[in-house]
Chain A
Amino acid sequence: MVATLEIRNLHASVDGEDEMILRGLDLTVKKGEIHALMGPNGSGKSTLANILMGNPAYEVHEGEVLLDGENLLDLEPDERSRAGLFLAFQYPVAIPGVTLGNFLRHAINARMKAEDPDSKGIPIPKFARLMREKMTQLQIDHAFAGRYLNEGFSGGEKKRAEVLQMAVLEPEIAVLDETDSGLDIDALRIVADGVNALTGPDLGVLVITHYQRMLNYIKPDYVHVLYEGRIVESGGPELAVELEEKGYEWIRERHEALAHFQA
């Protein structure tokens, strides 16, 4: 069966709040597909990403999220990760004292242990080889493996480190939340190449972005627009170009007209 992420009628808020950020969101991402999710600031894109990953700061009120038919919402974030979901964070948090290398080794070992409790984890030389290979590919200085996770990283370095983690963990469904923002054109190309190297029949991607720029490098099969907590437009790559040219104003107008008509 092809791995599929299915989001059905999702309603969600910040934990403990009444005001819904997501209000009946539907979206399906299959392995092998690239979807782009666009939308104005504050429309709930990161909220969606974090709810998918299981961030306890948010609360789901209604709807379901399935990964290969399994209810993701019942799982802890680590279980979701091991089930094949990955989130490249818009704002990765710094963790002092934990090096990037050590962290990723633990992440791999956690996967191995979940599969086989007696697993000794990945041998260090093998892990070092893997890291070197992936870091070279993403043009990350190898010394970064010894740096504390995200601490003192520039915006672009954080984004590259996120993609490095994705490359090492080889997810089935990856959500990239604004992985392009803050990158200069060279860095953008490197990151996009890195993502493209991972795409293919074994990976489904949801690219969250403001700008069509990223989509010149990572070519989406589908483009969706999030507005007022729902997907209000879906289309092919041409939709992204249209949004770039016209902005979100026409979405708002059309959506309001529609809402008015329905009322």
Chain B
Amino acid sequence: MAVVRRRSALPQAPSFSWADVQSLSDAHDEPDWLRARRREAWEIYRNTPMPYQEEEWRRTDYRHIRWDEAERLIQANGATAAVVPAKNLEPLTGAEQGGLLVFVDGNVVRSELAPSLEKQGVIFTDLRTALRDHSELVERRLMTQAVRATDGKFAALHAALWDYGVFVYVPRNTIAELPLHVVCYNTSAGAAMGHVLVVLDDNAQATMQVEYASNVTDGQSAYIGATELIVGDAGNLRYVSLQDWNRDTFEFSHQRGIVGRDAQLDWVNGVMGSQLTKAFIEVDAVGQGANARVSGFFFADRDQFFDLDTQQNHNAPLTNTDLLFKGAARDRARTLWQGMIKSLPQMQRIDGYQVCRNLLLSDEARMDSIPGLEIEADDVACSHAATFGTLEEEPIYYLMSRGITRPQAQLMIIEGFFDELLQRIPFERVRQRLMAEIEAKIIG
């Protein structure tokens, strides 16, 4: 018998107020332009209902969030980098690091940049410092191009109330060879509104990894974040994002890459943690010849719910986007991937590819994939696919026939499933660590 579940109640809204926005601006003595933007965003937020029945949200039930706990803005309590797990702080490579920026509860506890990068004019700092020292750069780019307050209820809330963030700027014709590393770690329950703004000027290059994690807290959390990756003409950005929030966190995030003419964005997004994640992950190929590769891996267990909503926008001719997501679900976990490739009219010779591969590890888990195309051009090569599989007996038998035990064989096959994606992460140590984390999830 099909069970029709009716939603009895509309989602509750958090009780943020205009006074919260004002006091945030006052506390940081924010410039007028930012106050004006926050006001505008607040108006949008106020006039937008909590998302509920619209297409991108109707499969995502987040009504079990307890806003009375999750809306309390997390305050720094004096904790230092000492509270951050060693694995998150471990350098990305054995060689020299480009920079390290660590936030604990939104407070900057470490901010380092290699002198060589500093000399090149690379900016790698927290957003508040950037507001002070590089005001024009930030004003021009912050939520004007990539993520906007109009993108949705949570984007508007973020725009009105973001309270900490990262700012990266790589000047024209500059190659930032050494990797930049950001860790956002929370120690208490409540709301966090982190922002990442990366700007690569024309013909600039950078490699960067951002990690999100939190320790076990009593009480729920909400991460209402935004990530903006702006790659100028002929630029090249390799960006890795790893999310491992505690199991009481609800993430609502908007992430968007803008890729300029002949530029390249290689973006890897890993989702392992949280109670519920609703992430909008989009790339806009805005310049002719722009290239974007978007990779995602996720592994949901117990009662986790991940909803990853991806969009590849071809806004210029001769653009190429390639999206591969791979995920696994076990226990009673649920995952959803909704993908869309869009083009503006008359964008010729575009090439868009999207595929999501799902590995179901229990009968009670559920995985859905909904690919889509909205193409208004004719000289296009677009394809999409979704696959679903379980652990098959034949490969297990093959591995066992060489003396490998059944649990080990299963582990190897699941790890093998993810290997292709992990190989896209440019840091060997990080790959190994993620393998261990996947292993931990498999073994439970």
B415: interface (CB < 8 Å): yes
Tell me whether chain B's interface is mostly helix, strand or loop, or mixed: helix
Contact B398 A81 (CB under 8 A): no
Known: A97-B417, A98-B412, A106-B408. A56 touches B401 (CB 8 A): no
Chain B window 387-417, contacts with chain A (Cβ cutoff 8 Å), 1 for yes, 0 for no: 0000001110111111111101100110111
**Contact of B169 with A by CB under 8 A:** no
What 0/1 pattern do residues 410 to 428 of B give for CB contact below 8 A with A? 0011011111100000000
- The contact of B400 among A57, A77, A102, by CB within 8 Å, is A77
Beta-carbon contact of B408 and A93 below 8 Å: no
In this assembly, does A53 line the interface, its C-beta being within 8 Å of a C-beta of chain B?
yes
Tell whether A110 is near chain B: CB-to-CB under 8 Å.
yes
A20 at the interface (CB under 8 A from B): no
A30 CB–B CB distance under 8 Å = no
In the complex the two chains form, is B416's CB within 8 Å of A55's CB? no
Contact code string A30-65 (vs B, CB < 8 Å = 1, else 0)? 000000000000000000000001111100000000
> Taking the nearest CB of chain B, how far is it from the CB of A230, in angstroms?
25
Once A76-B400, A78-B400, A103-B399 are accepted as A-B contacts, the answer to whether A95 and B406 lie under 8 Å apart by CB is no
Q: Does A165 contact B (CB under 8 A)?
A: yes
Taking the complex as formed, is A211 at the interface, i.e. its CB lies under 8 A from any CB of chain B?
no
Give the number of chain A interface residues (Cβ < 8 Å): 30
A81 vs B400: C-alpha distance when bound (angstroms): 8
The answer to whether B393 and A98 touch across the interface, beta carbons within 8 angstroms, is no
A110 vs B404: C-alpha distance when bound (angstroms): 6
Q: Which residues of B contact A (CB under 8 A)?
A: 393-395, 397-406, 408-409, 412-413, 415-420
B398 x A92 contact (CB < 8 A): yes
User: Contact check: which of A81, A106, A114 meets B401 at CB < 8 Å?
Assistant: A81
Residues of chain A touching chain B, judged by Cβ–Cβ distance below 8 Å, are 53-57, 76-78, 80-82, 87, 89, 92-93, 95-98, 102-104, 106-107, 110-111, 114, 148, 165, 169
Is the beta-carbon distance between A111 and B417 smaller than 8 angstroms? no
Output the least CB separation between B30 and chain A (Å).
48
Q: Assuming the A-B contacts A78-B405, A96-B417, A97-B417, are A106 and B412 also in contact, with contact meaning beta carbons closer than 8 angstroms in the complex?
A: yes
- A53 and B417 form a contact (CB under 8 A): no
Task: Evaluate contact between A77 and B397: CB separation under 8 angstroms.
Answer: yes
8 closest pairs, A vs B, by CB? A97-B416, A97-B419, A81-B403, A77-B400, A107-B402, A98-B416, A78-B400, A110-B403
Chain A residues within 8 Å of B412, by CB: 95, 98, 102-103, 106
